[in-house]
Amino acid sequence: MLEKDTLSRVKYKKTCVDCDGREITQSEIVKGYQYEKDKYVIFTDDDFEKIKTQKDKNITISQFVNLDEVDPVYFDRAYYVNPTGGENAFALLLQAMETENRAGLAKTVLGTRETLILLRVRKGVMLANTLYFHDEVQKSPRHELPACKQEELALAKSLIENMVQKFAPENFRDEYNERLRAAIDAKVAGKELEAPHETAPNNIINIMEALKKSVELTKRAVNSE
């Protein structure tokens, strides 16, 4: 972000209500909890460490679940897991989990926050997925939908079947970022940006006609490959 006239970078200065605009350094910042209005107790990093139990510092599996039962809506971030000792026990656990399609549920404290962990195995590699707690997941805003007609449902299934391919994430690129990089290069070269020429999609009201056309197009695409 730049200031539009000087084109100099925008800075975010850390200050406080009673600092009279003075910039404060990171070493002057502490963490506190307000227990009454304008009254705080201060917590240092040592204080946070003191209230952690050994269980909080480890990832201890409390139960195993069927991996297929875990809704991906609970997934947050994934991390690779490698042993720093006990390789034989780790390899035994990994293989047993992968063979049985099981995942281990555990809790640990990351930073100052208790985190739910799902340990799972993918292609011989152990992964630790941080999970959202149940009360952190927004309830679905789903509305009642009309019943589908059998003919329309058959066409929709045919359309889906024609478009089924093996999952290959390496085939997908961040095309917007590529266009952005090209736009940056064009700007640096002093060129004007041009909007891409695209034809507006037709607003087809008849769902049956739309499905039939889509099925026909996907059939042609499959036959041409």
Task: Indicate which CATH number applies to the domain containing 125.
Answer: 2.40.290.10
171-185 core/surface letters (b: 16 or more CB in 10 A; e: else): eeeeeeeeeeeeeee
How far apart are the C-alpha atoms of 8 and 36, rounded to whole Å? Answer: 42
Q: Are residues 167 and 131 in the same domain?
A: no
Distance (Å, rounded) from C-alpha 183 to C-alpha 157? 40
Average pLDDT, the chain: 86
| 8 Å CB contact between 219 and 162 | yes
The domain boundary residue, chosen from 69, 103, 136: 136
For residue 122, being part of any structural domain is answered with yes
Least confident among 97-101, 126-130, 160-164, 197-201? 197-201
Task: Tell me, yes or no, whether 127 and 79 share the same domain.
Answer: yes
In a domain, 58, yes or no: yes
Q: Is residue 79 part of a domain?
A: yes
Per-residue confidence (pLDDT) for residue 2, from 0 to 100: 93
> Domain for residue 143, yes or no?
no
Q: For 65-85, b where at least 16 C-beta lie within 10 A, e where not — what string?
A: eebeebeeebeeeeeebeeee
Claim to verify: residue 185 and residue 219 sit in the same structural domain: yes
What confidence tier does 108 reach under pLDDT thresholds 50, 70, 90? confident
Same-domain pairing of 95 and 161 = no
Provide the number of structural domains found in the chain. 2
Given 76, 104, 136, which residue is the final one in a domain?
A: 136
Indicate whether 192 and 169 sit together in one domain.
Answer: yes
Which string of b and e fits 37-59 if b means at least 16 CB within 10 Å?
eeeeeeeeeeeeeeeeeeeeeee
Q: State whether 121 and 156 are in the same domain.
A: no
Mean pLDDT on 161-175:
86
Residues 58 and 123 in one domain: yes
Residue 119: pLDDT above 90?
yes
Which of 30-34, 120-124, 139-143 is predicted with the least confidence, judged by mean pLDDT?
A: 139-143
User: Whole domain around residue 60: which residue ranges?
Assistant: 54-136
